Each structure stands twice: as structure tokens, then as C-alpha cells.
Amino acid sequence: MPARKDKILVIGASGQIGVELTLALRKQYGNNNVVASDLREENPLLKGTGPYVSMDVMNKEMLHVQVIRQNITQIYLLAAILSATGEKNPNLAWHLNMQGLLNVLDIAREEKLHKVYWPSSIAVFGPTSPKQLCPQQTVIEPTTVYGISKYAGEFWCNYYFNRYGVDVRSIRYPGLISYKSAPGGGTTDYAVEIYTEALEQKKYNCFLSEDTYLPMMYMPDAIRATLELMNAPADQISVRTSYNVSGMSFSPKEIGASIQAHIPDFTMTYKPDSRQQIADSWPQSIDDSVANKDWGWKPQYDLSLMTKDMLENLRK
């Protein structure tokens, strides 16, 4: 049977990752072959670049109708409640993060979709995981609802692959930094806010302490990692839970210094809040040797390259 023409549905397309992933998928598959969807309004950066539908991933019947009506062959599910927001509303975070994934996996099974993408996070690791170069497989005891839901979701992905042959793939994203769209209520959001505040106020009051090292990644690297994983031949994929990937690790003090190299009179103050406890439960750096071996993953951005690019683009 001839391969069906690829038609992608992006759920959560107006979010921090969704906007850039939708634009990148439209470059690869053609604008009209990527349907963007979200509960929220269409992000201005998506307007005029391709079809947009309002979608609630919790409404499985409506989602199923859209998949059939639009001849969807792949789903990228980005809708989720992140770590900090999740701690304010644990039940909603668990329900949305888990039921949303199960709805997509079940429709993928029933409609024999070509591929599914679903992001996990380094938030699956907990205080008992190794802090430095945290391995792909190790002690994993998440202590946030977000981390629990992401780790449980990884096993559901693995189950649907082994039991039903659903080609679902996943990446444990570090904290992601971007200038095109706002972050979505995570613990690493400081590393995004700091750039706009540096340009507007020449100062930033950080909600994490100055030496809080966390695994981070610039969005262009995260988008490229996602497409490289999704475009890799299935027989190269040895991990069907979720891949560790690594970009860089830095602390608020270090990102502040990288900004001062461009804005000398930029100053920082520190007022740790409840997110400090979440950050302290995560590893400081990630070992991504399995992703490198299986599908050639290599980051391209380090802190100084990212800061230069962020400031240049935010100034435009």
C-alpha cells in the first residue's frame, strides 16, 4: 500500500515549544500538511503560516474526529502542565498530562498513525538520581507531579510501542530557552525572563539561588533534536521510554555574567521561592551518550552563543 501522505497534527501548538516546532514541521512537510491546534488562541507567529483548529486534547471523541477528518498521520503532543504550575494544581496536572497522552496513544493505535511525538523532561529525575551526568537509566524517583506524570507517560509510550506497535518517540527536554514565545510555568523560566528584563530594566530578581545549576538547552537545539529523532529510521531507536538529551548546564550567576558581557551595567538579585526546592531535586547535568549513539545527537549552542543570539533577536 503506498505510504499515506504525511499530515501532522500539533497539539499545544501555541506554547513555548509548540510555536517553533510547528514552524519547523511546516518547513519540512509543507504549510498545509501541518495542522496546528491548541485550547488557546492561535499564537500570532503562526498566523497565516498554515491551518489552525481549536482543540482540547481531553476531548478524545473530538480529537478522534479531527484525526479522521484531516487524514492525520502523525501527532505531536506538546500540551502539558509544567513543574511549577503543576505543584499548584496537582490533580489537574496529573489528569491533563496523563489523559491527554492516553487519548493520543489510543487514537494512534486505532488509526494506525505513522508516528507520535511526546516530550518528557529531565524533571523525571529526583533527589536520589545522580547529580552530575545523570545517565539514561538510573534511580528515578520524581518528587513533582509533573515529573511523576512524565515518568509514568514514558512507560505508557513504551507499552504502546511494544504491545501495539505505535511508533511513539520521546525526548527528556532540559529547561528550554527561547525568544519567540513565552515559557509555560516551569522552574527554568527564569532563564527566559532574565533576557527581556536585562534589556528592559538592566536588572533581574532571580527566583532561584545564584549557584543553582540546571540542565538547559537553547530552543533551536531542542527543535533540531526533535526532528532528528523523528526522522531517524525506526531500527535506530533503542529507547522507547524517552531519550536523555543535553545542551548545556549553567547557574543564574553564570547566565548573568554572560549577559553582563553584552550589558555591563546589568545587575542581579536573588530571592529564591518555592521553585528552589523543585530545582534542587533535579540533576545538574545530563549524560546523553545513548542519544548520540542511536541517532547522532550533538548540541550546537553553548551559553555565550545562546546569550548573543537571544539578545540580538530580542532587540529586533
Active site residues: 146
Residue 230 CB, shortest distance to ligand VAH, in Å, is 19
Q: Is 175 near ligand VAH (CB under 6 A)?
A: yes
Q: Is 174 near ligand VAH (CB under 6 A)?
A: yes
Stretch that binds ligand VAH, among 25-33, 128-136, 173-181, 256-264 (CB under 6 A): 173-181
Stretch that binds ligand VAH, among 27-35, 70-78, 93-101, 180-188 (CB under 6 A): 180-188
Q: Of 77-96, which residues contact ligand VAH (CB under 6 A)?
A: 82-83
Binding track, positions 267-306, relative to ligand VAH; x by CB under 6 A:
----------------------------------------
| Residue of 12, 142, 186, 283 interacting with ligand VAH (CB under 6 A) | 186
| Residue of 188, 241, 284, 285 interacting with ligand VAH (CB under 6 A) | 188
Q: Is 50 near ligand VAH (CB under 6 A)?
A: no
Residue 63 CB, shortest distance to ligand VAH, in Å, is 24
Residue 209 CB, shortest distance to ligand VAH, in Å, is 16
Strand residues in the chain grouped as ranges (E): 8-11, 34-38, 52-54, 74-77, 115-117, 120-121, 168-169, 171-173, 175-177, 203-206, 214-218, 243-244, 248-250, 267-270
Closest to 108 measured CA to CA, from 163, 186, 47: 163
Beta sheet of 243-244, edge-to-edge order: 120-121, 171-173, 243-244
What is the C-alpha separation between 195 and 307, in angstroms, rounded? 8
Residue 40 CB, shortest distance to ligand VAH, in Å, is 18
Tell me the three cell numbers of residue 279.
530545582
Q: Of 6-45, which residues contact ligand VAH (CB under 6 A)?
A: none
- Of 146 and 266, nearer to ligand VAH (C-beta) is 146
Question: In angstroms, what CA-CA distances link 132 with 72, 138, 183?
Answer: 41, 12, 25
| Half-sphere exposure in the Cβ direction for 238 (13 Å, CA) | 11
Question: In angstroms, what CA-CA distances link 270 with 6, 208, 310, 314?
Answer: 48, 7, 22, 23
**Cβ atoms 154, 140 nearer than 8 A:** no
| Residue of 170, 187, 212, 226 interacting with ligand VAH (CB under 6 A) | 187
Q: Of 122-161, which residues contact ligand VAH (CB under 6 A)?
A: 122-123, 146
What is the C-alpha separation between 210 and 272, in angstroms, rounded? 9
Residue 145 CB, shortest distance to ligand VAH, in Å, is 11
| Residue of 22, 121, 178, 258 interacting with ligand VAH (CB under 6 A) | 121
Tell me which residue has its CB nearest to ligand VAH: 186
- Of 12 and 174, nearer to ligand VAH (C-beta) is 174
What is the C-alpha separation between 227 and 181, in angstroms, rounded? 19
DSSP state letter for 134: B
Tell me the three cell numbers of residue 283.
540533576
Handedness of CA 290, 294, 295, 296 (dihedral sign): positive
Strand residues in 1-82 grouped as ranges (E): 8-11, 34-38, 52-54, 74-77
Q: Of 203-242, which residues contact ligand VAH (CB under 6 A)?
A: none
Residue numbers at the binding site for ligand VAH (CB under 6 A): 82-83, 121-123, 146, 173-175, 186-188
